[in-house]
Amino acid sequence: MAGFFDVLLRGLTLAFASAALGGVAFTLFVLRAEPHAKPDAALRRALRTIALGGAAAALSQGAVVLVALAELARLGGGWPVAPFVRTLFAQASTGRAALGVLLALVAWRLAARPAGRGAWLALTGLALALSGSSAVLSHAVARVEGRALLLALDGAHQLAAAVWVGGLAHLVLYRGRSDEDGRDPARLLRRFSSLALGSVATVSVAGVLMSVLYVGDWGALAGTGYGVMVLTKVVVFAAALALASANFRAVRRDAPSGGGLRLTRYVEAELGLGLTVLFAAASLTSLPPAVDITTDRATVAEVAARFVPVPPRLASPPVAELIRQAEPLTETVTRREPVEIAWSEYNHHWAGMFVLAMGLLAALERLGVRPARHWPLVFLGLATFLFLRNDPRAWPLGPAGFWESMLLADVLQHRLFVVLIVGFAAFEWMVRTGRLAARPWALVFPLLCAVGGGLLLTHSHAMFNLKAEFLTEVTHTPLGVLGAFAGWARWLELRLPGAERAAGWTWTACFLAVGALLLFYREA
């Protein structure tokens, strides 16, 4: 449980800190804010967003501290507050929370009335410190050799990513209200394009250098959880860069004068993928660097074997046999029985059939088969199946009670996914059958899909063996990536006139790929 919330909260902290630092960069280099000048509508909006980002980053960073302290209390039987506050983690985390509060106060003050150069320097320094101090909580600080270099690379990487992703958020916010002031949108977009280009270049160079130092060799990219998450970041980052490239070309062709809508919609999808990158980065902090894993590493052949198609398992082992042989749900896992593997594979294979059915029906709908528009209802069958089968040792099939089992990370994540799936079904079916207006309700499906993909990247199984855990989870990572891609492709289909065909077939293909991966899933 603590590990899941830790990764989730770290991802939120990165996102909120990015909104703050990216906003400061946006106000200074794009809006060209000047000391002593009265803030106009666009500048006030940006400064208030910076304030909200700083305050939210402070809250989420404080929650990270509470989660860590609660986990120590659970393991030790008491709250070790005194020794905990002396640790670098506690000091850096509380310091970051304080920076977020101060940043929020300064930004809100600047939004209210003109201020001098000192206030703007304070705003910039606080935003840089809030995002850059994240390096102190990274793997870099724990290294014995090359610590200074790694801290510098990590700091540059995170600062540049915050300027890029946070700047995109402010650009989306500005483009939605750009008619309120007399600024030239084309000029502002060119300024932001130059800022984003430098940020992305810094992210890329620092990321490559850190990957070399933390991963170590090519085999570790495929044979460790850290390496696979690095590859995940690269894939999602590459997709975001493809959208960024389209935006860059549009800006340089003066597209804002006639193609502003297309540009704005691509920026929205680029922002979504950028946030996915941040949550993948947060997930990396929970994994040991690949270079440190030398004895419990999977081989490339072992990883490849998990993606080799096998006949699906269509018969389930008896639940009574599983409960009799498996360890109790609330105890630490020390072994994995064959009956547990069989149960899990059966679940994944049947889930794959549900998703494949939805993908095929969605394809038929695109080809003009009108009754196929009811395909979202298949989600309800999938949700019911998963609710009953995901955790057989918990209610309603097993002895562990409903609330008791909800304290376990695996169970909580599984049931969150079930809630998301029910949301998929309800909103998408009602939109497709005209029971809900397409605006704004059609956007629920892509947002839930993207959030589900992001959550899957934080998903973990608490197992007894690092290699076994990795080989079990290695197929979940592409599922998360495909979920994110499906969500943002559907977003573009809805938001960008003229892109319906390509974007629609993209998310449909993602559904079919998810179904195929689940259908051939294996754990042994």
Counting Cα atoms < 13 Å in the Cβ hemisphere of 226 gives: 25
Tokens of 450: 């993207």
380 contact partners, CB below 8 Å, separation of at least 6: 422, 425
Exposure string for 242-270, b = 16+ CB within 10 A, e = fewer: ebbebbbebbeeebbeeebebbbbbbbbb
Asked if 345 and 521 touch (Cβ cutoff 8 Å), the reply is: yes
Asked if 236 and 481 touch (Cβ cutoff 8 Å), the reply is: yes
* Rounded Cα distance, 496 and 266, in Å: 8
294 contact partners, CB below 8 Å, separation of at least 6: none
pLDDT at 254: 53
Residue linked to tokens 């770290």: 10
Q: What is the dihedral of CA 479, 68, 127, 182, to 10 degrees?
A: 50
∠ CA 136-4-161, rounded to 5° = 45
Asked if 345 and 522 touch (Cβ cutoff 8 Å), the reply is: yes
Listed as own residue / partner, the contacts of 494-499 with beta carbons closer than 8 Å and 24 or more positions apart are 494/438, 494/442, 494/443, 494/446, 495/265, 495/268, 495/443, 496/261, 496/262, 496/265, 496/266, 497/261, 498/262, 499/262, 499/265
Look up residue 46 and give its amino acid: A
pLDDT at 178: 56
Tokens of 128: 């840089």
Task: Give, as one character, the DSSP assignment of residue 373.
Answer: G
What's the Cα-to-Cα distance from 186 to each of 23, 195, 244, 280, 497, rounded to whole Å?
19, 14, 16, 33, 21
Look up residue 430 and give its amino acid: M
What's the Cα-to-Cα distance from 456 to each of 170, 219, 280, 414, 451, rounded to whole Å?
27, 24, 10, 10, 9
Residue linked to tokens 């800022």: 195
Tokens of 183: 């600024």
Whole-prediction pTM value?
A: 0.89
pLDDT at 258: 46
pLDDT at 343: 94
Q: What is the total residue count of the chain?
A: 524
* Rounded Cα distance, 256 and 54, in Å: 31
∠ CA 437-439-440, rounded to 5° = 110
pLDDT at 204: 96
Asked if 140 and 154 touch (Cβ cutoff 8 Å), the reply is: yes
Asked if 387 and 415 touch (Cβ cutoff 8 Å), the reply is: yes
pLDDT tens for the chain, 524 residues: list them. 567 788 889 999 999 999 999 999 999 999 999 999 889 889 999 999 999 999 999 999 999 999 888 888 877 767 888 888 888 889 999 999 999 999 999 999 999 999 999 999 999 999 999 999 998 888 888 787 888 999 999 999 999 999 999 999 999 998 766 555 667 777 888 899 899 999 999 999 999 999 999 998 888 888 888 999 999 999 999 999 998 888 777 776 654 444 566 777 889 999 999 999 999 998 888 888 988 888 878 888 999 888 888 899 989 999 999 999 988 876 767 778 899 999 999 999 999 999 999 999 999 999 999 999 999 999 999 999 999 999 998 888 888 888 888 877 778 888 988 998 998 899 899 999 999 998 889 998 899 899 888 888 876 554 555 787 788 888 889 999 999 999 999 999 998 887 788 999 999 999 999 999 999 998 87
